[in-house]
Amino acid sequence: MIVETKIKSFLLKLAKFYRIKDWIKNLGITAIGAELGDFNLFGFFYSIFLSIVCHAFIFSINNFCDLEFRKSKKNSENFIQYPYIFVIIPMIFAVLLSYFVSFTIFVIVLIILLLGTLYSAPPFRLKRYWPFSLTINGVSGSLFLLLGYYSTTNTFVVQLLIFSFAFFSFICSCEIIHQLAHKSVDKRDKIKSFPNVYGNKKSILLFQIIQVAAVLIYIISLFFDYQKNWIFIGSAFFSILRIIKISRINPYSTNFSALRNKLYGMWEGLYYLLSIFLSKQLFAYSF
């Protein structure tokens, strides 16, 4: 019974250390990428597992470096013992799993791991500066899409660029809300987030600008090939909904932590999965 309790406690600490609750929904981006390609079960599950270990690395190294920076690791009863080992393990898995399967995937994984390290680890710790923190988060969203896509095909299509921008804009916008929610914590940790540098109102304005740019990209794409790009009508719709929702909030009294869960990410992901499936069935073309 004591052993069982210790195992359960260890697993709970491990899940908290890897911050699984924070990124489990992001696996949907990789799943969408896999469906965009020549979908097959091996490629799908391979990309999902690879996405899991990459997320585990970038979130655990961020968690570890944050706690090291705050000098609270040794005093935290909830912190896992020998944390650096559990940072290295998923990194090793990610490198080995990608190296023996595909050079393209290997390069994508290396970029993800590199960005995760530059973002969190000293002496770089690029999360301290808003241009890097916003860009790296947005690019990571696109990379996880590519991870799924190139796990099922080797071809390239223009639609992939539009999907990449769709997730870049969404993740980048979510990061702005995240920084608004953590404004006081970031200020304490001397992190120059966009809200701490420019304030809440300008942060919301930047959110709107990114979403307006996304809508324009989606609309422009329709002029090139309506049949293949009609999916992005829905993307424009979700972006417009986000613009409306953010326009109605109070910049200073809103619970931004709660707002992060109301940006239609899950519904947008389900829309993509269903639309891609239907488009392949109705129009008999491959992306």
Residue 121: which of 68, 56, 51 has the closest Cα? Answer: 68
The string over 244-258, giving b where at least 16 C-beta atoms fall within 10 Å of a residue's C-beta and e elsewhere, is: eebeeeebeebebee
Averaged confidence pLDDT in the chain: 88
Contacts of 13 (CB under 8 A, 6+ apart): 78, 79, 80
For the segment 274-284, the average pLDDT, to the nearest whole number, is 73
* Confidence bin at 3 (pLDDT 50/70/90): low
Query: Which fold is adopted by the domain 157-287?
Result: Four Helix Bundle (Hemerythrin (Met), subunit A) (1.20.120)
Same fold, 1-152 and 157-287: no
- What are the CA-CA distances from residue 180 to residues 167, 177, 263 (Å)? 20, 5, 14
pLDDT at 77 over 60: no
Q: What's the pLDDT at 225?
A: 78
* Confidence bin at 39 (pLDDT 50/70/90): confident
**What end-to-end distance do the CA atoms of the chain give, in Å?**
54
Residue 173: which of 254, 264, 59 has the closest Cα? Answer: 264
For the segment 259-284, the average pLDDT, to the nearest whole number, is 78
Domain limits, the chain:
1-152, 157-287
Tracing tokens 């210790």 back to the chain, one arrives at 6
Q: How far apart are CA 132 and CA 183, in angstroms?
A: 17
Q: Which tops the pLDDT comparison, 81 or 86? A: 86
* Confidence bin at 227 (pLDDT 50/70/90): confident
Q: How far apart are CA 277 and CA 63, in angstroms?
A: 37
The H or E element that residue 88 is part of is helix 83-99
Q: What's the pLDDT at 261?
A: 75
pLDDT at 1 over 70: no
pLDDT at 75 over 60: no
pTM beyond 0.95, yes or no: no
Instruction: Identify the weakest region by mean pLDDT among 199-208, 213-222, 277-286.
Output: 277-286
Query: Which fold is adopted by the domain 1-152?
Result: Tetracycline Repressor; domain 2 (1.10.357)
Tracing tokens 């997730």 back to the chain, one arrives at 167
Q: What's the pLDDT at 37?
A: 87
